[in-house]
């Protein structure tokens, strides 16, 4: 229970940080090397307030809601919409047996229940999904 509370609190703080940085228009599309550790105890949140991350004990968590209103599609929309009872419901989905492999600037995420996602690292704390949506983390990588 404490782990879930800590995770939800961290998720809320990440949302506030991302929302506060919403004036960032351009990302550095240079070469960045993806590393599995980027997802360890770390959350990435997009502008629709959908979150993925926190690879702990081979589990990965997806949080957020899906609204059918016109907006840009994300890679998490289908996953979230299948788990919510109605449009706009907030969900928290934990996928077990999660594995993250990397190649160059790409993250390949797989887990139970057929989870398969690909992200690309486009900044020190920014990843991009296959739909072109960016996800940010408040934590900077340690050198």
| 26-84 tens-digit pLDDT | 444 558 999 999 998 899 999 999 999 988 899 999 999 887 776 789 999 989 988 87
Q: For tokens 């990435």, what's the residue?
A: 44
Whether 121 contacts 134, CB under 8 Å: no
Whether 51 contacts 12, CB under 8 Å: no
Q: What six digits make up the tokens of 123?
A: 């900044």
Measured CA to CA, the distance from residue 140 to residue 143 in angstroms comes to: 9
Residue 23 has pLDDT above 50, yes or no: no
Find the mean pLDDT for residues 7-16.
56
- In tens, the pLDDT along 103-136 reads 999 999 999 999 999 999 999 899 999 999 999 9
The predicted pLDDT at position 24 comes to 43
Residue 25 has pLDDT above 50, yes or no: no
Show the beta-strand stretches assigned E in the chain: 43-46, 51-56, 59-64, 91-96, 99-103, 106-111, 115-123, 126-129, 134-136
* Radius of gyration, alpha carbons of the chain: 14
The predicted pLDDT at position 28 comes to 45
The predicted pLDDT at position 41 comes to 83
Measured CA to CA, the distance from residue 90 to residue 73 in angstroms comes to: 17
The predicted pLDDT at position 138 comes to 82
Residue-range domain boundaries for the chain: 2-22+32-136
The predicted pLDDT at position 66 comes to 81
The predicted pLDDT at position 26 comes to 43
Q: For tokens 């991009």, what's the residue?
A: 128
Find the mean pLDDT for residues 71-99.
86
Find the mean pLDDT for residues 82-102.
86
Residue 3 has pLDDT above 80, yes or no: no
Burial class (CB in 10 A: 0-12, 13-18, 19+), 62: buried
């Amino acid at each position: 229970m404490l782990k879930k509370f800590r995770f939800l609190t961290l998720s809320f703080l990440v949302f506030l940080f991302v929302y506060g940085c919403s004036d960032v228009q351009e990302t550095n599309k240079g070469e960045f090397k993806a590393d599995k550790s980027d997802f360890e105890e770390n959350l990435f949140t997009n502008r629709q307030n959908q979150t993925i991350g926190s690879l702990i004990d081979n589990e990965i968590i997806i949080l957020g809601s899906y609204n059918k209103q016109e907006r840009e599609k994300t890679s998490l929309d289908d996953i979230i919409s299948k788990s919510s009872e109605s449009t706009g419901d907030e969900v928290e989905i934990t996928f077990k047996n999660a594995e993250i492999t990397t190649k160059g600037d790409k993250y390949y995420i797989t887990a139970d229940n057929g989870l398969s996602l690909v992200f690309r690292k486009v900044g020190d704390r920014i990843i991009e999904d296959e739909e072109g949506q960016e996800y940010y983390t408040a934590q900077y990588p340690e050198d």
